[in-house]
Amino acid sequence: MSADHSAPPIASLERIAAAHWQAADQAALGEWLLRADGGFTGRANSALPVGDPGMPLVEAVDRIGQWYLHRGLPPMIVIPGPLASAAQPPDPLDTLLAARGWRVRSGPAVVMTAQTGAVAGRGQGADRTPGATGVPVTLASRPDAAWLARYHYRGMAELPASARRLLQSAPWQAFASVEDGGQTIAVGRVSVAAGWAGITAIDVAPEHRRRGLGTALTRALAAEAAGRGAGRVFLQVEEGNVAARALYERCGFATVHRYHYRVAPVPGAPS
């Protein structure tokens, strides 16, 4: 699906997304946002360089490095940008970081947006919501133990302590789950902030995939957010996750921009 040309500018959408996943430790560097939360997720542990840092780029990068090292975290900066195009000039910050040896972290991602009502389809915001496939989806205001046990961020066997707080860091959020035989087999999260919905943490047990559970969760979460007045919805997905991107496109999402992370070199490490 082509880009959603009704989406806001990249900087605006990145700021919106930041309000949906708020690190416990945040600081401003001019208009840039520094975020730290124990290392769980790049979103909560990277600098967001949108706007003017109020100083030369070299000085801003040095300050970011000091800020993260003081917190025992590797300095990391997210680099949002337009979809790949030969006509796009190099990003000055990305060029500077590359010259300084900051590596690109694996797993570049894309941001996708849609009209919330269009994604919701036949979903209805209720305690037990039939998704597009007729799968019963349970919604709750907090993640219970079964939800947390099912959510394996990037394959993690167990979530860190900071995860529960981050999952509930938006002004409002809801948590969806699908059960089978008394077991939670699929989960997802939706949040509302800055007038937008954000869908995150979609996780389906491997043995239950290709049954439409991801679609059911996505539609039910969008319906719940629509009931909260959010007219548009975004999500972030790894660029190389072809199956997930295809699922979201079928739900009505379009890709609007991409991003990757740059991580500072470790002092004393071999080059």
pTM: 0.90
Helix residue ranges, H only, 128-239: 145-150, 161-167, 213-226
Q: Which amino acid does the sequence have at 209?
A: R
User: Does one domain contain both 145 and 46?
Assistant: no
My answer on whether 14 and 143 are in the same domain is no
* Count of beta carbons in the 10 Å neighbourhood of residue 158: 8
pLDDT for res 125: 41
Q: Which domain holds residue 246?
A: 113-257
Beta-carbon contacts of residue 230 (< 8 Å; ≥ 6 apart): 116, 192, 195, 196, 197
In terms of C-beta density within 10 A (0-12 exposed, 13-18 middle, 19 or more buried), how is residue 19 classed? Answer: middle
| Same domain flag for 74 and 124 | no
Distance between CA atoms of 34 and 48, rounded to whole angstroms?
Answer: 6
Rounded CA-CA distance 181/7 in Å is 41
Tens digits of residue pLDDT in 35-79: 999 999 999 999 999 999 999 999 999 999 999 999 999 999 999
pLDDT per residue, tens digit, the chain (271 aa), is: 555 656 689 999 999 999 999 999 999 999 999 999 999 999 999 999 999 999 999 999 999 999 999 999 999 999 999 987 656 788 999 999 999 999 999 889 999 999 999 999 844 443 444 444 578 999 999 999 999 999 998 777 789 889 999 999 999 999 999 999 999 999 999 999 999 999 999 999 999 999 999 999 999 999 999 999 999 999 999 999 999 999 999 999 999 999 999 999 976 443 3
Q: Burial, 93: exposed, middle or buried (Cβ in 10 Å; 0-12, 13-18, 19+)?
A: buried
Q: Is 95 helix (H, G, I), strand (E, B) or coil?
A: helix
Q: Has residue 3 been placed in a domain?
A: no
pLDDT computed for residue 101 by the predictor: 98
Q: Are 141 and 174 in contact (CB under 8 A)?
A: yes
Give the residue carrying structure tokens 């680099």.
79
Q: Identify whether residues 125 and 73 lie together within a single domain.
A: no
In this structure, is residue 271 part of a structural domain?
Answer: no
Question: Residues 124, 247: one domain?
Answer: yes
In the chain, the amino acid numbered 10 is I
Single out the residue of 39, 32, 25, 27 nearest to residue 72, CA to CA: 39
The answer as to whether 141 is a domain residue is yes
Domain shared by 82 and 210, yes or no? no
Task: Establish if 5 belongs to a structural domain.
Answer: no
Quote the distance between the C-alpha of residue 84 and its chain's center: 20
Neighbours of 31 (CB within 10 A): 14
pLDDT of residue 163: 94
Give the burial class of 221: count Cβ atoms within 10 A of its Cβ; 0-12 exposed, 13-18 middle, 19 or more buried: buried
Longest alpha-carbon distance in the chain? 58
Pair 94, 140 in one domain: no
Total domains, the chain? 2
Tokens of residue 153, six digits: 């961020």
Tell me, what's the pLDDT at 88? 78
